[in-house]
Amino acid sequence: MTTHAGTTTTDTHCPYCSLQCGMGLRTAAPESGGSGEWPASAAPDVFVEVVERPGFPVNRGALCGKGQSAAEVLRRGVRLTAPLVRDGDGVLREAEWDDASDRVAAGLAAVGRAHGRDAVGVFGGGGLTNEKAYLLGKFARVVLRTANIDYNGRFCMSSAAAAGKAAFGIDRGLPFPLEDIARTGCVILVGANPADTMPPALRYFTDMRAAGGRLVVVDPRRTRTAAEADLHLQPVPGTDLALALGLLHLLIAEGHVDEEFVAARTVGFDAARAAAMAHWPERVERITGVPVQAMRDAVAMFASAPAAMVLTARGPEQQSKGVDTVGAWIDLCLAAGKAGRPLSGYGCLTGQGNGQGGREHGQKADQLPGYRMITDPAARAHVAGVWGVDPDSLPGPGRSAYELLDSCGEEIRALFVMGSNPVVSAPNAAHVTARLAALDFLVVTDVVLSETAALADVVLPGAQWAEESGTTTNLEGRVILRRAALPVPDGVRTDLVTLNALARRLGVERGFATDAEEVFDELRRASAGGAADYAGITYDRIRAEDGVFWPCPEVGHPGTPRLFLDRFGTPDGRARFAAPTHRASAEEPDTEYPLYLTTGRVLSQYQSGAQTRRVPALNRAAPGPFVELHPDLAERMGVGEGDPVSVTSRRGRAVAPARLSREIRPDTVFMPFHWAGEGRANTVTNAALDPVSGMPEFKVCAVRLDPVGKVGEAGSTGSAAGERGGAALSGSAGASSDGLGGAVLARASGAPGGGR
């Protein structure tokens, strides 16, 4: 923290994506340097602005527009500043904290008594700090004693996590720092578009190419990242697995297998070779549409580089065969000897701000803190010891995220949501919205009145990134510290305070600290000895070292920026080949639904848009949904630029303006998923799940495209507000710029499951 001329600058990090860019927050009281040109936070009379923090190594001061404008969401009138409770007339009204907390505790307890503990579900978020994720998991298992907790990170990188754990014994997004990308010889980037999703990271790829390295991008769209590549492979959506097998086939056929590495450091190559040899290049060209020569070129670049990497993101991962697809790309690395060596390896560009830490510390259905499996008796005994409970009292594994949402209103009768907006971000979203509406009791903690919060019986406003301290773990496995720069505004509580108050009301008086550092110290003990061991990481160390890489088992340990250089994390130290074979997506185009739909993000919005849709500058840059399609397809359909079109699948229909682009395959349309309402892409997407990871198939489904007379024509599946017919909000919850059109739901209270 530095103070100058009446202003104070606090070193912290962006609240959004997994890059967790370092930034400064400059604050001032009006009389001492603040001015009307600064945004005023919700804290009384404090102005705040984002400034560069060049000393943080990951982004060296660079921020994208989302990070630059992040302080806008701190403003009163944009964010929530009081609890909301739905009255008997179905309207959300402002309430006192004690009343709201009493109602939450009573609602959760009543459902537990009536239907059993597992009828209460908990749904967390990949943006929660490690401390919140840890305490939320403990709250579910110790206070509610429910098995059913999961989080939206399941929708983010769970396939990569499962594949990485199977291959290497440890799942960490990147097993090396980002800086290694700049010094490697070749990167195959699969289904990732960092130019739009994390622009400050692009310089690592640019530096690599400037030093003679080669970039191969695999993507059905010629994204801005693909346009920068030395080679762009543009496969049919859902065929990345076949492409990886085709490349492995060529690697083997052309004599590039690192036999010494394979023999010394891996297990299972024979099965992988057999799988690859069944995918000869011409067959793979027929499946993927990628020309054989382009595959040969990719293999030549990859194999000839002295060091090389494969990096995946949501493209190959968000498929019903996501684990196998990532496994096939890992197999390519292992066969080439491009893993477990300096400047080489497989990595996942994780998505959400704390997607990595969020799954390490207990909000995932099958895991306890420290990346311990909840079915492991030793893991249960260790964590129960830290928590001071009987290991036998801990529940077992629960439903994965979509299964949890899908069972709402049936097996799950009450849901506690923290920092997630599944009404927009879940697949088959109209169905999910209906399931949420069928709950007996829904409580949401969030910083804004998201579309999911608008459905709730009780909404609890949480403090934001700039108002509370806490750690996150970025995509490199670097544990960093967000430092509070502002006081918690009146009417708002930190989520740690909220969990403490609820635990007390539900009969657990101890064990829910409200100070983030105290929670982190408990997390360190709970993670000690686990795969994600944070025991040696302290707030002081993070401050002094700009982050510490896990595993870090002791305070004197330097942390582990680079994994697997000596051995992999498996019991015998050897990596495992996955040896998958290609299979079709869960839903392929047919005569009724003849096109592929793929979904993704745009530069100026983030995830469900709950925060970024409230920022005027971002809305000017990315004002609404669109359907990207090739001009040839548009001509066949009689559609021009900007014309409203509908995209219909077996699950529903979304309507948005057409955006013509030669950068997409003519058999595929693309929609960003940041918006609610009739342009909600996830109304259309398919919830077919990967059998191992539970990842839904966001990236591939079959759709029909139709011109529409005008946006809003009958038949579109609308937002939650539209489905409910809109209603009223009493109070000042700041719903004006949220894409809900100012309408916030009235939700008739009454009979459980009565179609609310």
Which residues contact ligand SF4 (rule: CB under 6 A)?
14, 16-17, 19-21, 59, 63-64, 66-67, 198-200
Closest to ligand SF4 by CB, 201 or 669: 201
Task: Find out whether 49 and 89 touch, Cβ atoms under 8 Å.
Answer: no
Rounded to whole angstroms, the Cα distance separating 255 from 260 reads 13
Minimal distance, residue 356 CB to ligand SF4, in Å = 13
Minimal distance, residue 413 CB to ligand SF4, in Å = 36
Owner of token pair 């506690």: 416
Closest to ligand SF4 by CB, 672 or 694: 672
Minimal distance, residue 63 CB to ligand SF4, in Å = 4
Rounded to whole angstroms, the Cα distance separating 473 from 130 reads 8
Closest to ligand SF4 by CB, 55 or 642: 55
Task: Find out whether 281 and 243 touch, Cβ atoms under 8 Å.
Answer: no
Minimal distance, residue 20 CB to ligand SF4, in Å = 6
Q: Which two tokens stand for residue 588?
A: 């392929």
Minimal distance, residue 194 CB to ligand SF4, in Å = 9
Minimal distance, residue 199 CB to ligand SF4, in Å = 6
Minimal distance, residue 68 CB to ligand SF4, in Å = 7
Rounded to whole angstroms, the Cα distance separating 321 from 694 reads 10
Closest to ligand SF4 by CB, 101 or 352: 352
Residue 544: count of CB within 10 angstroms of its CB: 9
Listed in sequence order, the DSSP H helices in 313-428 are: 314-317, 322-335, 355-360, 377-387, 401-406, 422-425
Closest to ligand SF4 by CB, 16 or 520: 16
Sign of the CA dihedral running 154, 157, 158, 161: negative
Question: CA–CA distance from 483 to each of 172, 180, 281, 469, 703 (Å)?
Answer: 24, 27, 52, 5, 46
Those residues with Cβ within 8 angstroms of residue 545's Cβ, 6 or more apart along the chain or in another chain: 559
Minimal distance, residue 474 CB to ligand SF4, in Å = 8
Minimal distance, residue 537 CB to ligand SF4, in Å = 21
Question: CA–CA distance from 458 to each of 92, 95, 749 (Å)?
Answer: 8, 9, 12
> Half-sphere exposure (CA, 13 Å, Cβ side) for 274?
7
Closest to ligand SF4 by CB, 200 or 731: 200
Q: Which two tokens stand for residue 582?
A: 């290609």
Those residues with Cβ within 8 angstroms of residue 540's Cβ, 6 or more apart along the chain or in another chain: none
Closest to ligand SF4 by CB, 59 or 101: 59
| Rg from Cα positions in the chain | 25
Task: Find out whether 678 and 595 touch, Cβ atoms under 8 Å.
Answer: no
Closest to ligand SF4 by CB, 66 or 399: 66
Minimal distance, residue 18 CB to ligand SF4, in Å = 7
Using CB atoms, what's the residue nearest to ligand SF4? 67
Task: Find out whether 85 and 55 touch, Cβ atoms under 8 Å.
Answer: no
Minimal distance, residue 478 CB to ligand SF4, in Å = 13
Closest to ligand SF4 by CB, 14 or 330: 14
Task: Find out whether 276 and 249 touch, Cβ atoms under 8 Å.
Answer: yes
Closest to ligand SF4 by CB, 510 or 620: 620
Rounded to whole angstroms, the Cα distance separating 334 from 310 reads 10
Question: CA–CA distance from 423 to each of 437, 520, 673 (Å)?
Answer: 10, 31, 11
Closest to ligand SF4 by CB, 123 or 606: 606
